[in-house]
Structures are given as structure tokens and as C-alpha cells.
Amino acid sequence: MTSSIYAETDWHARACRLRPDGRAFIAGERQALGASFAKHSPLDGRLLGQVARCGSAEVELAVRSARQAFDDARWARQAPAQRKVVLQRFAALVLEAREELALLECLDMGKPLRNALQVDVPASARCLAWYGEAIDKVYGEVAPTGVDALALITREAMGVIGCVVPWNYPLIMACWKLGPALAAGNSVVLKPSEKSPFSALRLAELALQAGLPAGVLNVLPGYGHEAGEALALHPEVDAIGFTGSTRVGRCMLEYAGRSNLKRVYNELGGKSAFLVFDDHADPAAAARAAAASLFFNQGESCNAPSRVLVQDSVADAFTEQLVEAARGFRAENGLDWGAPMGALVDEAQLKSVESYVGAGLQEGARLRLGGQRCHAESGGSYMQATVFDQVDNRMRIAREEIFGPVISVLRFKTEAEAIAIANDSPYGLQAAVWSHNINRAHRVARALRAGTVHVNQYDEDDITVPFGGVKQSGNGRDKSLHALDKYTELKTTWIQIDA
Ligand code: NAD
């Protein structure tokens, strides 16, 4: 369908006809529901369906199924070229199901349907296809040893990977784990967030349809302290690929310590700094970019540029432009085509964002736009685009991850001060430098402690580049060929050669 046909589609009617299936997916099939919880949509509070409340019993079944699939090598021993065919078919099926998946994403966690259709689903499919395409082009090494031996360095699949993912980009986060983990030949037990379980469950059905052998991918919905904890503690899980909050990332490290020292790859929170210098020729472009990146996905993005640091001499003009750009991000029902922002994921998230707005006001920041919930009569969890000025880096709104549509403007005088403020954060996921002085741009990019630094843009992103942070933003990298390292073990094989 073209974009104009999408624009004319009655997505509200389509949403009413959808019947999301919340049953767990284990050993290649849906399981009887058992204990469950009701899942409501943040768009308007409607009931979406019952979702399996998996616990240690279901984790045991799923891990056993994944282990058996790995041990009998029904997937791991398939030639890389064969795994590629299956992953590419999987990606094609995801694209075929794009409307259903996008609706599930929108209803489940509140994002605009248009973004889900045009960004989340294609990016997820591209990720699966990319790792499929890559896997038969990855070579091992021969070490430069003496002549009487041959030392081969190869990478082997690890075994069973537990993937625990958040709700903000449910499909993309799942595929960033599934792409490399499955391509490398592992089995996976995936636990989506209890706030967004439906699209991951549907993915498992599509994977089976694409030819992924039963048992290789299992999906367990449920709560973090139940299904998530049991999975991360399980002795037969070889690694955890986690994306979520820094608080739960700590738990993951503890679980590994208390169980089998499984590898833990943490992709955690952020408080990304966006530095605007007065030598940038087009501060309005910088303001538009900051607003577009922050308010995309209602501000529920780990890499949202939530701290905008602006040089004093241009700060007033810049802030006016930022407020103007932010006005365009109205929160609307995500099923309305063209909604600039949707609903926050639930009432708890909305309350948390409201409490940060209160903290900002109390600590003396100047509210320039928004700050209120909106459309309360709809039964949904909507929040206005919010801009604070005169923010100090010691305030809570500058130090803690808000994960909502709130952007803060901080001011600086010198380059050294800007770098010091940017780096004065427990997080180090992303950062940006806006400057037309090439020396400064390089100098500052080098000095910023972040996994990714953008220069004079913020929205470039591609599966070919690693994504991850430093400090308390985590220790792993999703995407790119580097992600394959997380789900493989290096093996050295020494072979004696009689000369
Ligand atoms: P969260 O940490 O609350 O939950 C993430 C996942 O962990 C969910 O599946 C949840 O059920 C599970 N979980 C929760 N408590 C658990 C426990 N005690 N034991 C085991 N599992 C548990 O995070 P969230 O609210 O779902 O997501 C938002 C966070 O994710 C933000 O901090 C955001 O920055 C981060 N995030 C990071 C990246 C990245 O790539 N660095 C990407 C997206 C989101």
C-alpha cells in the first residue's frame, strides 16, 4: 500500500477487528493460557486481551525446549547459507504482516501507527534480513603460529540466549537481539515487556512459518520479577541480551553472579547531551532536530537528546526556536494518521513524567511549554510536549532519565564548560555536537563520553553501525557485525602438523 492509501485507511475500524493473542509460544506452538493478566491500551484504556503471566514453570519449559533444539543442532548445524534463507524469509513475512504488526505496536504501547508502519516494522525486517545476509560472509582466522602447528580461531554459537526487552520499541528491540543471536545458530527465549507483549508473540509465529525449527525461538510474556528473573537466573541459559533500565541492568548482573555466571549484555538508559555552539550557521535547524529526536516516540527513546546545552550568546534565540518546533508535536490518538505523538505507555509512566515536571518547577527550572497531561477524557495516557529552560545540571530533570516528552535547555559559556556538563552524568549513550568549526566538532566529539556522537545531525541510524553506551548506559553493542560477538564464543583449535 502506498502512503496515501494508508492515510485514507480507517485504522480505528481495523483496530477494533484485531484480536491479539497473548498466549506464550513454546516449542513451536501456542500454549494454553493458564495464569494471565489483562492488557489495556494506553490509547483509550480499551481491553486488548489476556496475556499469559509466565513464571518459573513456563521458563523451565521454554529453556528446556531451547536447550534441546540447540543440543540436537537442528538449527546450529544448518549451513550459514541455509540460516540466511530462513532469516530472509522471516524478514519478508514481517513485511507482509506490517499492518497487523504496526497496529499491535500502536495499540499496545501507544506510539503513532504511522511511525510503527514506516519505521518500526521496516527496521525490524531489515535487521533480520541483514544478519541473514551477513552470516555466510563471516570468516574465522588462522593464527600466525610456527610451522609445526595450525591454530584456528573460530566463533561458535553459545547455546541458549535469554533476551529480555523493553516496551518502547517492542519489535525493533526484539529483532536487534533475534537477528544476530539466531543468525549465529543459537536458540532463544525472548521475554517481551509486560507492557507490550503482542508483537513479539506474533513474531514467533512468523519465524516458525519462515522455517525456523520449532524450539529455536520461544516467547514468554510476563512480569519482570517473575518470568524475567527466572529466565536470567536459569543455569541452562548461556547469555542474557538485556535492554531496559539501568536499575534492572544491575539486577541482571546479580542474577548472573548468583547463578552460572552467564554473559550479561546490558543496553540501558540514557540522558543524552545535545551541544549547540554559537558557530553553527543554522541554530534553527539544530532546534528542529532536537525537537524531532526528543519528541519522536513521545520521548520514550533511550537515546532521546533530553539535555540540550546551548552557548549563552545564542541560547535565547535557540530556545524560542525549540519551543516553536515543540509546538508541532501534539499528542493525539496514534490510530489517527499523522498523529505527531501518541500516548505514553501507561498511567504509571504518565505519573512518573508528571512528577518530573513537578520536580523541575520546584527546583527552579523555567517551564516554557506544556507540562500537563491532555485528553484525559479519552481514557488514554497523553502528555503535552514539554520544554524547560534555565535548567541546571544538578536538577533531577537533568540527571535522571524521564522517558517522556520533556526536553531541558541548559546554558554554557565555553567549550570546556560544555564538555564538563555533558560528561557530568551517570549515563553515556549518545551525544551531539552542533558546530561549523571543524576543529571544534572533532575535538568535542572526541571528548564526549558516549557510545555514539552525532555531528550536525541526530537522526542518522543504520543497522550497519553499533548502538550502545558507556558508563551506566551499558556494556554491550546491538546492531552491526559487532553484535555477533555477543552471541558467539571464540574457540581456538590447535592442530599438530608433523613437519
Ligand atoms: P525495565 O528495565 O523496567 O524493563 C525491561 C525489561 O526487563 C522488561 O521486559 C521487564 O519486564 C524486565 N524486567 C523488569 N524487572 C525485572 C527484573 N527484576 N528481573 C528481570 N527482568 C525484569 O525497562 P522499561 O521500562 O521496559 O524500558 C525503558 C528503559 O529501557 C529505559 O531506561 C530506556 O533507556 C531503556 N532502553 C535502552 C535501550 C538501549 O539500546 N540502550 C533501548 C531501548 C530502551
The predicted-structure confidence for 360-386, as pLDDT tens digits, reads as follows 999 999 999 999 999 999 999 999 999
Average pLDDT of the chain to the nearest whole number: 97
User: What is the CA angle 345-350-352, rounded to 5?
Assistant: 115
pLDDT score for 80: 98
pLDDT score for 4: 82
How large is the angle between the packed helices 170-183 and 198-210, nearest 10 degrees?
30
Residue 252 has pLDDT above 70, yes or no: yes
Determine which one of 106, 127, 251, 302 is catalytic.
302
* C-alpha 196, offset from chain centre: 13
- pLDDT-above-70 percentage for the chain: 100
Alpha helix positions (H), 196-311:
198-210, 229-233, 246-258, 283-295
| Distance of alpha carbon 374 from alpha carbon 178, whole angstroms | 37
Residue 411 has pLDDT above 90, yes or no: yes
- pLDDT-above-90 percentage for the chain: 98
Q: Which residues pair with 331 in a beta bridge?
A: 341
Nearest-CA residue for atom 15 of ligand 1: 224
Grid coordinates given for 234: 536459569
Ligand 1 pocket: which residues have CB below 6 Å? 164-168, 173, 191, 193-194, 223-225, 228-229, 232, 243-245, 248, 251, 267-270, 302, 401, 403, 429, 467, 469, 474, 478
| Nearest in space to 111 (alpha carbons), one of 326, 297, 313, 239 | 297
- Mean pLDDT throughout 238-243? 98
Distance 347 CA to ligand 1 centre (A): 17
Contacts of 148 (CB under 8 A, 6+ apart): 496, 497, 498, 499
Active site annotation includes 96: no
Active site annotation includes 267: yes
Residue 2 has pLDDT above 70, yes or no: no
Closest ligand 1 atom to residue 169 Cα is 43
> Cell numbers 537533568 correspond to what residue?
398
Distance 166 CA to ligand 1 centre (A): 4
pLDDT score for 267: 98
| Nearest in space to 22 (alpha carbons), one of 227, 310, 306, 249 | 227
pLDDT score for 1: 59
Residue 281 has pLDDT above 90, yes or no: no
Distance 429 CA to ligand 1 centre (A): 15
Residue 283 to residues 288, 366, 456: CA-CA distances in angstroms? 9, 21, 10
Nearest-CA residue for atom 10 of ligand 1: 224
Contacts of 300 (CB under 8 A, 6+ apart): 111, 168, 344, 345, 349, 403, 404
- Mean pLDDT throughout 153-178? 98
pLDDT score for 207: 99
Q: Select from 51, 53, 168, 347 the residue to mutate for testing ligand 1; criterion: most ligand atoms less than 8 Å from CB.
A: 168
Determine which one of 99, 229, 267, 415 is catalytic.
267
| Distance of alpha carbon 44 from alpha carbon 79, whole angstroms | 48
Q: What is the pTM of this model?
A: 0.98
Residue type, 452: T
Distance 167 CA to ligand 1 centre (A): 8
Distance 319 CA to ligand 1 centre (A): 32
- Mean pLDDT throughout 189-199? 98
For 93-150, the pLDDT digits (tens) are 999 999 999 999 999 999 999 999 999 999 999 999 999 999 999 999 999 999 999 9
User: With contact defined as beta carbons under 8 Å apart, do 467 and 478 qualify?
Assistant: yes
pLDDT score for 459: 81
Residue type, 274: F
Higher pLDDT, 164 or 3: 164
